[in-house]
Each structure stands twice: as structure tokens, then as C-alpha cells.
Structure 1
Amino acid sequence: MLRRIESAEPTKTDASTETGTTAIEKRGGDTSRPKLAWITDPHFDHAKLETWRLWADELIAYSPDALVVTGDLSEGDDVAYQLRCMADTFDRPIYFVLGNHDFYGKSINETRRQIIDLTREVEHLHYLTDSAPISIADDAVLLGDDGWGDATVGDYANTTVRLHDFELINDFRDSPSETWQATLQREGRDSGDRLSIKLQSLPTTIKHALIATHVPPFRESCWYEGRTTDENWAPFFVCGGVGAALRKAAQANPHRMYTVLCGHTHHDGDAEILPNLIVHTGYSRYGTLDIESIIELTDDGFHVPRTFASST
């Protein structure tokens, strides 16, 4: 079963962390370790209804015990709508973080407040940025945070990249461009701080930690067409704040394996940052819906085979 660990510190969003316990039985009453379906960057607003239905049927056929979504579900108010559709369709917990597209049309705080309110209302929805670590087994947990391309890696001063974020997220659109770097850095720092609190709360009995985030936390895990990012794109495609929190935790706890799931780049790859810290970056393509992996937990840790089941 999966349940929330009570000892975690509150997170630093604009609302308090969820309290209490949650528990689910494995599908069919099996008491062995559960399996998790990983989805990243689905961009539901680009998919046709028939594509969504085929994807849902494929996903249900795998019989996962829970879903893990690493951001960019949709845009604007459609994010909440799509989360409700998922909760109605998949009768199991849905653990998710938000990506940059999910904040389009609103401010960052307004979006998070709306989604937090939604998770209080809909039982199956769990926003990991606002949640304490979730126990998957006696020695394994799931936790996460949104992350942000935080302008701490790469050459922000000379980049030629201008994201749609700056036009479509109120925090940037309503502020002069001279303030954008500070906003990016603040979001990355806050994500790293929230994640650090959760990582530090884990008891020594935890041997395996599965971390969900949207933005790759290291340059080595920021994949595009088989290569990692350059100085021009790195400021917006790497979250140095989350990377620093993960590296610190992994170095301080060599007995624990840290497995990270992320997306954002729409290109897949795996990066071993430390012997006990590996990052899996997921694939996505607009208009298709994919099942990135059916993750299983064994005594050796989380296994993340690539599924690439796509509904076109």
C-alpha cells in the first residue's frame, strides 16, 4: 500500500502541507510492492478525444496501482479539468507535479492555490509539491516538487532564448524583463528548499526514494536529440536548486538510492549523477499520449523500463 509519512516538515507553498494518512491497496488486493505508471508532458490540450480514450485504455490495461505525472498536463483552467478527468477515469491515486505550461494564463501562486484546493476536493489527486513523502513500502517513498528552469546553469546573460512563459505567465508578463532572472532563481531556490525539507525528513530505514519533478535537475539529465543542453538553453531547462538539494541528500546518505523522474525537454535519456543518484528524463510529442514507464520496486530499487506505448 501507499501511505503518507507523518513526520515530514511542512512545505513552503502558499498553503500548508496536507496532513493525515492516505493508503491504497494494490489492485486486486495483492499485497506485494505496487507498480507505478509514469506519464510526463502529456499536453492534453493538444490531444484529440479519441487519442485520450485510447491512451486511457492502454494505461488501464497495465493495471498500475498509481499514476505519477511529471508536469505539463495542459494550460490555464484546462489543467484542473484534465486532472478531474483523470481522477474520474482512473480509480487510483494520481501523484503529480506541475510544469511551466500548467501556469499559463495565471500567476504561479494563483495556479498552485487552485490546484491545492482541487486536491482537497478530489480524493485521488495528490499534488506532490504540497505533499509530504508518500510511503510505497517499508523501505521506499515517493516525493516531489515542480522545479523550474532557474537561470543558475548556463549563460543567462547572453542567451538568445525567449520562452512563451514570459508572455503567458503573469509573474513575467506583468514585470519588467530585468526582474525575470530573479523570479526564475527564486522559484528554483524555493523548489530546492521544499525538496530538501522532505528529503531530510526521511528516516534511515528508507533505502529507495523516487523523486518526481518537471525540469531536469542537472545539465547531464537535460536531453535533446541524444545530447545534453548547451549554455544557451540551460538557464531555462535545468533546475539548479533541485539539483543541489538532490546532490546534497545523495552524498549525505550513500546507503539510499535516489531515482529521479523528470520531463520538460520532450526528449528521453538517463543520467547517473552519483552511484546512488540517477535521473530519468521522459519523452513527449505534441498530439500523442504516451506511457513513459511502468515502474516496479524490487529489493534492488526502482526499475524504470521505457514503455513508449503511444496513442496517436
Structure 2
Amino acid sequence: MDFILVRRPAPRAQRLDACQSPSPAKDASARPTPTTLAWITDPHFDHAKLETWRDWAEELLSHQPDGLIMTGDLSEGDDVSYQLQCLAETFARPIYFVLGNHDFYGKTIGETRRRMIELCRDSDHLHYLTDTGPISLAENCVLVGDDGWGDATQGDYAGSIVRLNDFALIEDFRAADPSSWQAMLQQEGRQSAERLRQKLNSLPESVKHVLIATHVPPFREACWYEGHTTNDDWAPFFVCGAVGDVLMETAKANTDRMHTVLCGHTHHDGDAELLPNLVVHTGYSRYGTLDIESLIQVTTAGFTVPRTKTAP
């Protein structure tokens, strides 16, 4: 089969501010209602060979999904835009995505998000969920999302021996004094949580099922590594506690609505039921390979999230 590759865009010189509030959702009425959504997380396309990408795309197309959901860490730097353009040209169907920490490498957080917003405005297929309002998937089912961030609210930040490459490779942190890093992480978490809160609070009572895409697990119980959940060293960087607080609050206030969360970041898979109406699915990834985490079935009865492969 043929795959369409587009020319890698030239870097932009302009440095832009962080996005503040989500813009209105693109009109979903003009496209068919998805019934199957392929979920992909942490593909790190920059680590995959071209032949691996082609095989993965061919397999994905063979399933004929109505849309794609991607929960972050697509690539790094300018390659993020390039890969999204390749995906849009190859699959020609809605691609809903959030960004992960790797996607901001080599840039500021604000600059990267602004570039994604501009890219989506020029594409009928790309939808950056952080900048998008609720999207209707079925009569009573919607999709919302936000990047999220390891926000240093869980675990022992001060005593942790963990220091991610984020601090050296994301311009905001690289240019800041290390003493301010914890406050910066917490601010990113709060902003993600507030954007999600606005979207969830805007849902009418008729919505009974909401699918929430984010990159960072919002609860320690959903932060998996080799079959176990995180410890105090890793939790500050691998859990977005502020988003978890909003999800817990919203689920408790809307007991007749099911909240299904998709996330990645840890590269290890697992499922966590926080409440009868709040479930978190964390996806698997391995550098150099490309997988389909799930082919999500969307009906008026809600979302079914079967795992397509078992992690080794």
C-alpha cells in the first residue's frame, strides 16, 4: 500500500505564550460518528525505523478505525508536527491527541502548544484536545482531554533521587533555577486540572459516558511499573495529582456518569478502578516498537477498552 510522507516543516523563530483556555470544539456534525477508536500511547516515533512505521500503519488501517486517540509522547521538537502531518495524510480520519513531556523537548511549553494549535487549524483531521472542547462520539458519549503533567503533588519530591531529562531538555525548566522546578510542575498540573474541570462541568446531564485522554496517570493507583504501582521517588514525576483531584470530584458529583480515562507515560500497562464510575487505563510502550493499545468500541452504552496485545 502507499504511504504519504510530507516535507518536514522548517522551525519557527517566534516564541509564543502558553495557551490559557480551550477554544471551542470543531464542529463534529460534518463527519461520521466514530464507532471504533484506535488508542495509541507513547509511540516515540523518532525511535522507530521507517519500516516499523509502515508496518504499524498498515496494521492500523486494516482495522478500519473511525478515528485515532493518541495520549502523548509522539516524538520530540519539530518532529512532533511532522509526525502529526504524516498521520493526518496517511489515515485521513479524525486524530485526537494530547502531548507528553517528550513532545516539548527543545522548545518552551507555550511555544509547543501554540504550534499544535496552529497546525490543527490548518487540518481537518487533527484535534489537539488540550485546546478543544468536548467532542461528541455518540448520542450520550463525549471525548475530552488535556496533556497533564507530573506535578510534584504526590510522593516525596524533596527526597526523590529521580531527575528527568525534562529539566535539561524543556526550555522553561532549563532556563529556570532548580529551586523553582517544583512550583513550575505544580502550576502545570493546576492548569491542566482547571482546563479539564471547565470541560467536564460544561457537559449536559444527557451525557452518561465521558472518555478522558491525558498523558500522565492522574492517580498513584494508575501509575504502573512491571505490575506494581509507583513509589515515593517516582510519583512526583509520574502522577498528575491535580487532575486526579478534579476527576475524583467530578465522578463523585455525577454518579450516573461513567468516567473512562486513557493515559500513558509510564510505558507499563494496567487498569485501576478508583470508583464504580471512574476507571483509568494506562498504556504500554517500548522504544523502537509501535503498537495499538486498544480498539475502543463506542456505543450509546459507553466505551469498551479491550487490550489488543499483552506487554512482554
Same-fold status (TM-score > 0.5): yes
SS in 2 for 1:249: helix
In the alignment, structure 1 residue 13 sits paired with structure 2 residue 19: yes
Counterpart in 1 of 2:7?
none
SS in 2 for 1:188: helix
Contact 1:41 1:70 in 2 (8 A): yes
**In 2, Cα distance between equivalents of 1:115 and 1:140:** 25
Distance 1:16 1:190, change over 3 A: closer
Deviation at 1:300, TM superposition (A): 3.6
Counterpart in 1 of 2:154?
153
Matching residue's letter, 2:168: E
RMSD over aligned Cα atoms: 1.5
Counterpart in 2 of 1:8?
none
Deviation sequence 1:228-266 (CA, Å, 0-9, x none): 000000000000111011001100000000000000000
Deviation at 1:14, TM superposition (A): 3.9
Deviation sequence 1:16-37 (CA, Å, 0-9, x none): 51455133544xxxx7x61100
> Matches of residues 23-38 of structure 1 in structure 2 within 5 Å?
23=29, 25-26=31-32, 34-38=35-39
Contact 1:210 1:259 in 2 (8 A): yes
Matching residue's letter, 2:187: R
**In 1, Cα distance between equivalents of 2:213 and 2:81:** 19
**In 2, Cα distance between equivalents of 1:16 and 1:254:** 26
**In 2, Cα distance between equivalents of 1:21 and 1:224:** 39
Contact 2:222 2:282 in 1 (8 A): yes
Counterpart in 2 of 1:240?
241
SS in 1 for 2:158: helix
Mind listing any 5+ residue stretches in structure 2 that lack a counterpart? 1-17
Identity %: 66
Deviation sequence 1:240-296 (CA, Å, 0-9, x none): 111011001100000000000000000000000000000000000000000000000
SS in 1 for 2:206: coil
Counterpart in 1 of 2:184?
183
**In 2, Cα distance between equivalents of 1:20 and 1:124:** 10
**In 2, Cα distance between equivalents of 1:247 and 1:186:** 19
Deviation sequence 1:47-99 (CA, Å, 0-9, x none): 00000000000000111100000000000000000000000000100000000
Counterpart in 1 of 2:272?
271
**In 1, Cα distance between equivalents of 2:150 and 2:207:** 29
Higher mean displacement: 114-123 or 295-304 = 295-304
Contact 2:138 2:299 in 1 (8 A): no
Matching residue's letter, 2:275: L
Distance 1:296 1:19, change over 3 A: closer
Distance 1:148 1:20, change over 3 A: closer
Scaled by the length of structure 2, the TM-score of the pair is 0.91
Contact 1:291 1:309 in 2 (8 A): no
**In 2, Cα distance between equivalents of 1:297 and 1:15:** 28
Distance 1:125 1:299, change over 3 A: closer
Deviation at 1:105, TM superposition (A): 0.1
Deviation at 1:122, TM superposition (A): 1.4
Deviation at 1:309, TM superposition (A): 8.8
Scaled by the length of structure 1, the TM-score of the pair is 0.91
**In 2, Cα distance between equivalents of 1:196 and 1:142:** 13
Deviation at 1:303, TM superposition (A): 0.5
Counterpart in 2 of 1:283?
284
Distance 1:302 1:109, change over 3 A: same
SS in 2 for 1:260: strand
Contact 1:15 1:113 in 2 (8 A): no
Contact 1:207 1:257 in 2 (8 A): yes
SS in 2 for 1:290: coil
SS in 2 for 1:296: strand
Deviation sequence 1:162-202 (CA, Å, 0-9, x none): 10000000110001100000000000000000000000000
Matching residue's letter, 2:265: H
Counterpart in 2 of 1:63?
64
**In 1, Cα distance between equivalents of 2:179 and 2:249:** 31
**In 1, Cα distance between equivalents of 2:22 and 2:261:** 24
Name the count of aligned residue pairs. 294
Distance 1:284 1:19, change over 3 A: closer
> Matches of residues 1-312 of structure 1 in structure 2 within 5 Å?
13-14=19-20, 17-23=23-29, 25-26=31-32, 34-308=35-309
Deviation at 1:104, TM superposition (A): 0.1
**In 2, Cα distance between equivalents of 1:309 and 1:23:** 36
Matching residue's letter, 2:152: A
Q: Which runs of 4+ in 1 moved over 6 A?
A: none
